[in-house]
Structure 1
Amino acid sequence: MQGLPEEDLEAYARMLDDVAGTGRRLRREELEALRESGERAAGAGRGVRGLVGSYLTATRDAWPALRGVAGAGTPKDVQRAGEAVLTALDAAVAALGEGHERARRLVVRQDEAARGEFVDDLLYGRSDPGRLAERAQRFGLRLGRGHAVAVARGVDAYEDGRPVLRRIERELVARFGGRDVLMAGKDGRLVCIAPGSERAVFEVFAETALRPGAGYGAARRVAVGRVHSGTGGIVRSYEEALGALDVADRLRLHPEVLRAEELLVFPVLMRDRAAMSDLVHSVLGPLEQARGGAGPLLETISAHAEAGHVNAEAARRLGLGVRTFTYRLERIKVLTGYDPGDPLHRYTLETAAMGARLLGWPERPL
């Protein structure tokens, strides 16, 4: 039978013959031989349904001879032999399925290892571009196109991201087929590489990653880098996505999905770190004189900006009364000399507050 060595089926027929004659159960070594047969069938590309069907056919073909083996006894002996054969068949089918699944899992693990190694080399630029392009074809990726990289991060690191990865992959395949998309786990995060023209892929990736699944939590945030060409462009997009996640944490941004192009102002602000440190120190340094330190007043500046400079809304977000919030604004004006009600002063305060969060001040000294 196609995909199965004849000796496997011959050994199975001999085993059934002995079971029919003795009424025994299958031995451990026989079950392991059946598992190995299932592995060989999987390696030959035979599906589990066809594999089991072949053994059922072999059982049916051997049935007349098995009845003859038991026929010398009483009707009760014949019944006992039939029950023993059916029990053996049930155990054989289970063993074949276990072996087939064992081989399939091994292939998946090997593929995941190869994919993980490729993604490492791709995102760190550790291989020759020509060689990377050749390897990329195996995973359905055409590096000549412009690509972007999305990164999903959970509340905790994905120690084993495979269940989540497979769930998202199934969703992407169902929606888009095998459309030049590569996913992998990387450093406790999930990474999706796709052509920049396929914005819908990143939307579905983010939507699915942020949705909890059975037995595993949702991602906390997803960031998408900008579109760049070539292998170096993929590295750059990946770094932009990681940078967006870092900025979002430092600034305590609320959106669950971030796009690097929407956050370009922050790398610009931090390009001259010394100048930003000087701005924070000069503008916000006096806040450290306040009772309770600079932290509460720094939160006041940020909440005021996020609330569109509406005192009542900003107070609500901080869990304060409007009178208390207004008092804080006055303290900021007195200590810094910058009036939150003046547009130019307010811009300076808010820029300095962003810089403070990016630098980790006041928890981290400038």
Structure 2
Amino acid sequence: MYQPVRPQGGDEAGEQRCGTAIDTRPGTTASQAWLRRVAQDAGHGAGGVPAELLGDFLIVLVDAATSGRLPDRSELDAVGHNGRRAAELGVSAGNAVQLYLSAGWRLWRELPDTVGFPDTVATARAAEAVLRTVDLAVAALADGYTAARRDMVRNEETLRREVIEDLLRGDGDAAGLVQRAEPFGLDLGRPHQVALAAPHGAARTDTVPAALERSVVDGVGDRDVLVATKDGRIVVVAPATSVHDPDLGVLLHRDLNRSSSATPWRVAVGRPHPGSYGIARSYEEARDALGTAARLRLRTSLLRAEDMLVYRVLLRDQPAITDLVQTVVAPLAQARGGAQPLLNTAETYFATGCVTAETARRLNLSVRAVSYRLERIAELTGHDPTDPSHRFTLHAAVLGARLLDWPEHDLRTGDAD
């Protein structure tokens, strides 16, 4: 191995040979000043990155150039640690790498004159050692940076999920929740609404939120949006839209079904409410809308809480709705095939706007068969579905039967839902 050539003739001779008299031996005042200047210049050249993130990298480079020794594991680990620090300080990955590359070429630009390599072969070997050291250091830096970013994202996602869980649950510590939601851009002083999206089938929901959040932000025009998954559903918390903004439910339904055409989605949107408790209230409305639609076997794929209020009214006085079902549609159980075929016919008939031909098409029956069933319903219940004066009572009773899951389950007045 070659050794650095020290300036001869004292400081004055060194200044005449290379511009400044520098002793490159580690720990000397001259070497420290030189390396500090190179580090500061590299930091400025990398966009103002703190030069401290270089650590002892320049000393390692000088050692590689003068002795040919490549960095050991502990030295590379130190560079990796600096990569983690860069990520934690918010330095971009490109600027962090640029800091090390800039430090490498700036040091090499002055190193041959400073050290005084004896010949071109020694210079080439030193250059190779420096390049290989820079290569190893940048790889270690990138590994540390990536690991830190991964940990930060994981930690942020955990905090994000906890905030969303507490918002949807209506956490009692309102002041604390406001403070925790603020880093995610959520202004709880504004009215918010919650939308729930549930797939029809076994679609994965964990791959959707990131792209969907960008779409909602683009559509709503506000970064005050949170998207997550809960209980196999996608949850979207967004500020209340004005009459001029795109409708949140329409936006979600369109994007979800466009991105996953093989799996249709049903979207329910709660009403907007102010404050942190308003988010929990809107979430409950959206969740109730999905559950009620499933129990009623509604075909609607976009549900709004305000349109589902009538069903909540029916369920609010369960003894009354149970009595209505028992009185009006329970006699359908006397039919030869049981109550279910006639109940399905009445339900479909009302859903089609009382159009017999469309009812027949949906049930895959003839018009004559549907007409016979409607007549049979009138005979057993005393309420003619074709008579407008009877229609409301019968329709309410049919909806109540679905809400109470009758005839699959017995009617018990006063039972909890």
Matched residue, 2:282: 237
Residue type of the alignment partner of 1:274: P
Cα displacement (A) at 1:308: 1.8
- Establish whether residue 172 from structure 1 lines up as the match of residue 216 from structure 2: yes
In structure 2, how many angstroms separate the alpha carbons of the residues matched to 1:312 and 1:30?
Answer: 81
SS in 2 for 1:183: strand
In structure 1, how many angstroms separate the alpha carbons of the residues matched to 2:251 and 2:112?
Answer: 59
Matched residue, 2:82: 37
Alignment deviations for residues 278-307 of structure 1 (CA, whole Å, 9 cap, x no partner)? 211222222223343322221111111122
Matched residue, 1:208: 255
Change in CA separation of 1:256 and 1:145 when aligned onto 2, cut-off 3 Å: same
Alignment deviations for residues 150-195 of structure 1 (CA, whole Å, 9 cap, x no partner)? 222234689873x422112222334455443333333333322233
In structure 2, how many angstroms separate the alpha carbons of the residues matched to 1:81 and 1:218?
Answer: 62
In structure 2, how many angstroms separate the alpha carbons of the residues matched to 1:17 and 1:298?
Answer: 88
- Establish whether residue 183 from structure 1 lines up as the match of residue 230 from structure 2: no
In structure 2, how many angstroms separate the alpha carbons of the residues matched to 1:227 and 1:178?
Answer: 16
Matched residue, 2:384: 339
SS in 2 for 1:254: coil
Change in CA separation of 1:148 and 1:175 when aligned onto 2, cut-off 3 Å: closer
Matched residue, 2:295: 250
Alignment deviations for residues 56-114 of structure 1 (CA, whole Å, 9 cap, x no partner)? 11232344688899x87996x98787677656655543443332222222222222222
Residue type of the alignment partner of 1:264: L
In structure 1, how many angstroms separate the alpha carbons of the residues matched to 2:134 and 2:178?
Answer: 49
Change in CA separation of 1:291 and 1:93 when aligned onto 2, cut-off 3 Å: farther
Aligned-residue RMSD, C-alpha: 3.5
Matched residue, 2:26: none
Residue type of the alignment partner of 2:173: D
In structure 2, how many angstroms separate the alpha carbons of the residues matched to 1:43 and 1:302?
Answer: 60
Change in CA separation of 1:18 and 1:132 when aligned onto 2, cut-off 3 Å: same
Matched residue, 2:30: none
Change in CA separation of 1:7 and 1:244 when aligned onto 2, cut-off 3 Å: closer
Identity of aligned residues (%): 46
Q: Is the 8 A contact 1:196 1:227 kept in 2?
A: yes
Matched residue, 1:128: 173
Matched residue, 2:32: none
In structure 2, how many angstroms separate the alpha carbons of the residues matched to 1:30 and 1:143?
Answer: 48
For 1:283-298, list aligned pairs within 5 A: 283-298=328-343
Of residues 262-271 and 7-16 in structure 1, the stretch that sits farther from structure 2 once superposed is 7-16
Alignment deviations for residues 291-341 of structure 1 (CA, whole Å, 9 cap, x no partner)? 433222211111111222222211111222323323322332333333222
Q: Is the 8 A contact 1:300 1:329 kept in 2?
A: yes
Matched residue, 2:29: none
Q: Is the 8 A contact 2:191 2:274 kept in 1?
A: yes
In structure 2, how many angstroms separate the alpha carbons of the residues matched to 1:218 and 1:234?
Answer: 28
- Give the paired residue count: 361
SS in 1 for 2:311: helix
Change in CA separation of 1:67 and 1:94 when aligned onto 2, cut-off 3 Å: same
SS in 1 for 2:392: helix
Residue type of the alignment partner of 2:251: V
In structure 2, how many angstroms separate the alpha carbons of the residues matched to 1:252 and 1:23?
Answer: 74
Q: Is the 8 A contact 1:9 1:55 kept in 2?
A: no
Residue type of the alignment partner of 2:231: D
In structure 1, how many angstroms separate the alpha carbons of the residues matched to 2:264 and 2:68?
Answer: 58
In structure 1, how many angstroms separate the alpha carbons of the residues matched to 2:183 and 2:127?
Answer: 50
In structure 2, how many angstroms separate the alpha carbons of the residues matched to 1:192 and 1:154?
Answer: 15
Change in CA separation of 1:243 and 1:176 when aligned onto 2, cut-off 3 Å: closer
Cα displacement (A) at 1:263: 1.2
Of residues 171-180 and 335-344 in structure 1, the stretch that sits farther from structure 2 once superposed is 171-180
Matched residue, 1:148: 193
- Establish whether residue 10 from structure 1 lines up as the match of residue 56 from structure 2: yes
Cα displacement (A) at 1:365: 1.8
Select which of 271, 279, 286 maps to 1:226.
271
TM-score, scaled relative to structure 2: 0.73
Matched residue, 1:47: 92
Select which of 147, 164, 168 maps to 1:119.
164
Q: Is the 8 A contact 2:61 2:133 kept in 1?
A: no
- Establish whether residue 273 from structure 1 lines up as the match of residue 318 from structure 2: yes
In structure 2, how many angstroms separate the alpha carbons of the residues matched to 1:138 and 1:158?
Answer: 31
Cα displacement (A) at 1:244: 0.8
Cα displacement (A) at 1:210: 4.1
Change in CA separation of 1:334 and 1:66 when aligned onto 2, cut-off 3 Å: farther
Change in CA separation of 1:296 and 1:15 when aligned onto 2, cut-off 3 Å: farther
Larger radius of gyration: 2
Residue type of the alignment partner of 1:303: T
SS in 1 for 2:198: strand
Residue type of the alignment partner of 1:276: I
Residue type of the alignment partner of 1:113: T
Residue type of the alignment partner of 1:327: Y
In structure 1, how many angstroms separate the alpha carbons of the residues matched to 2:201 and 2:73?
Answer: 43
Q: Is the 8 A contact 1:149 1:192 kept in 2?
A: yes
SS in 2 for 1:365: coil
SS in 2 for 1:264: helix
